[in-house]
Amino acid sequence: MSRRKPDIYERQKQIRNQEYWQSHPLREKYPEVTGLVIKMSFKDYDERSNPKPRQVEFSQESKAFFKIDCPYRECVSGGFDFSSAIDELVTSHLDKLDGTITCQGWQDKERIGKHRCFLELSYTIFAKYKNDS
Ligand SMILES: [Zn+2]
């Protein structure tokens, strides 16, 4: 028996883990930031039910890895990347930033190239800085 090849979901998890471990801590990437919070809610325009709202918090010791998996386990190459939003937030020294991101993944592995996920995520990111009281 040959060893089973990792499937597409295991592969994307491995890549994600690798990126996570290669990321620097928040205090190195944004030394002036003491904490970040991303609040997310989801809206699905397909027949699927909306995933529950989520919140992710980052401390100075957290990895500055701002990609969040799509809540749909079947979704291929999906997810939400907050890297540029957080960059904008911190560079402009804002306390919060709102926006939406649409998942560009494929709905499941049978529908690669055919049907995108298009789950819509609305977010508010809150930042705390060193000089804040
Ligand atoms: Zn998705």
Express each pLDDT in 5-42 by its tens digit. Answer: 779 999 999 999 999 999 999 999 999 999 999 999 99
pLDDT band at 131 (very low <50, low <70, confident <90, very high): confident
Please give the distance, rounded to the nearest whole angstrom, from the Cα atom of residue 59 to the centre of ligand 1. Answer: 26
Helix (H, G, I), strand (E, B) or coil at 10: helix
Is the separation of the CB atoms in 99 and 81 below 8 Å? no
Counting residues of the chain whose pLDDT is more than 70, the rounded percentage is 96
76 CA to centre of ligand 1 in angstroms: 7
Q: How far is the CA of 78 from the centre of ligand 1 (A)?
A: 4
Which residues, 6+ apart, have CB-to-CB distance to 127 below 8 Å? 33, 35, 36, 86, 89, 90, 94, 95, 96
Q: What is the distance in A from the centroid of ligand 1 to the CA of 83?
A: 17
Distance CA 71, CA 90 (A): 26
Amino acid (one-letter) located at 112: I
Tell me the CA distances in angstroms from 112 to 8, 9, 56, 66, one per residue in order: 11, 13, 29, 25
CA of 92 to the centre of ligand 1 (A): 29
Residues near ion ligand 1 (CB < 5 Å) are 70, 72, 75, 78, 103, 105, 117, 119
CA proximity to 127, closest of 58, 27, 53, 51 = 58
User: Where do we find the tokens 């100075």?
Assistant: 60
How far does residue 12's CA lie from ligand 1's centre (Å)? Answer: 13
**Tens digit of each residue's pLDDT (9 = 90 or more) over 65-83:** 999 999 999 999 999 999 9
User: CA distances (Å), 82 to each of 28, 37, 117, in order?
Assistant: 17, 11, 18
In this model, does residue 2 exceed pLDDT 70? Answer: no
Phi, psi of 94 (to 5 degrees): -90, 155
